[in-house]
C-alpha cells in the first residue's frame, strides 16, 4: 500500500470523501492476503474474499452514484471497470472451490495491484 493511501490522500474529490471506504477495502484486502499467506483453510480465504467483494461493491455503488450525480453519464467506462473487477473477485472466490485450479497468489496480487492503483489515481477528470 502506498504511503499516500495510508495517509488517506487523493481520496477526497469534489466534496466526496471516499477515504473511509477505501480504507475499509484495503483492510479487507490485507485480511485476504494474510489468511492466504498463513495457509488458512479455504473457507476462511473464501469468507475473506467475500468480505472484500462486499465492501468493494458497497463502495463502487456509492462512487457510481456520485459519478452519475456530479458528472452525468460520461463515466460509463469507469463504472463498467468497477463491474469487471467485482466479477473478477467473484471468479477468484469461485476458483477456490476448484481442486485443479493453480495457486491463487497471482490473482490476489492482481487484485492488490488493481485496487491500490485505482484508489491512488485521480480518475475522475
Ligand atoms: Fe473508481
Q: Is the pLDDT of residue 1 over 50?
A: no
In a domain, 58, yes or no: yes
In a domain, 62, yes or no: yes
Q: How far is the CA of 44 from the centre of ligand 1 (A)?
A: 27
Condensed to tens digits (0 to 9), the pLDDT of residues 67-110 reads 888 876 667 888 899 999 999 999 999 988 877 766 788 999 99
pLDDT attached to residue 88: 96
pLDDT attached to residue 76: 81
Q: How far is the CA of 23 from the centre of ligand 1 (A)?
A: 14
> What single-letter DSSP state applies at residue 14?
T
In a domain, 47, yes or no: yes
In a domain, 33, yes or no: yes
* Band (11; pLDDT cuts 50, 70, 90): very low
- Please list, in sequence order, all residues whose beta carbon lies within 8 angstroms of the beta carbon of residue 25, skipping any fewer than 6 positions away: 52, 55, 56, 59, 115, 119
Q: How far is the CA of 55 from the centre of ligand 1 (A)?
A: 13
How many distinct structural domains can be found in the chain? 1
In a domain, 32, yes or no: yes
Q: How do the residues of the chain divide into helix, strand and coil, expressed in percent and rounded to 5?
A: 75, 5, 20
In a domain, 104, yes or no: yes
- Please report how many Cα atoms fall inside a 13 Å half-sphere around the Cα of residue 43, on the Cβ side: 0
In a domain, 43, yes or no: yes
Condensed to tens digits (0 to 9), the pLDDT of residues 30-61 reads 999 999 999 888 889 999 999 999 999 999 99
Range of the domain at 84: 17-121
Q: How far is the CA of 119 from the centre of ligand 1 (A)?
A: 7
In a domain, 7, yes or no: no
pLDDT attached to residue 7: 37
Question: Residue 92's domain is classified under what CATH number?
Answer: 1.20.120.50
Q: Is the pLDDT of residue 113 over 80?
A: yes
pLDDT attached to residue 72: 67
pLDDT attached to residue 9: 40
pLDDT attached to residue 10: 41
Amino acid at each position: 500500500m502506498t504511503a499516500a493511501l495510508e495517509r488517506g490522500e487523493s481520496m477526497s474529490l469534489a466534496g466526496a470523501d471516499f477515504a473511509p471506504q477505501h480504507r475499509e477495502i484495503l483492510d479487507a484486502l490485507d485480511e485476504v492476503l494474510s489468511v492466504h499467506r498463513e495457509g488458512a483453510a479455504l473457507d476462511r480465504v473464501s469468507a475473506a474474499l467475500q468480505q472484500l467483494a462486499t465492501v468493494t461493491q458497497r463502495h463502487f455503488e456509492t462512487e457510481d452514484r456520485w459519478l452519475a450525480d456530479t458528472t452525468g453519464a460520461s463515466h460509463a467506462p469507469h463504472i463498467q471497470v468497477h463491474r469487471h473487477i467485482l466479477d473478477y473477485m467473484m471468479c477468484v472466490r469461485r476458483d477456490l472451490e476448484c481442486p485443479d485450479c493453480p495457486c491463487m497468489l497471482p490473482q490476489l496480487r492482481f487484485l492488490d495491484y488493481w485496487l491500490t492503483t485505482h484508489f491512488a489515481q485521480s480518475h475522475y477528470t
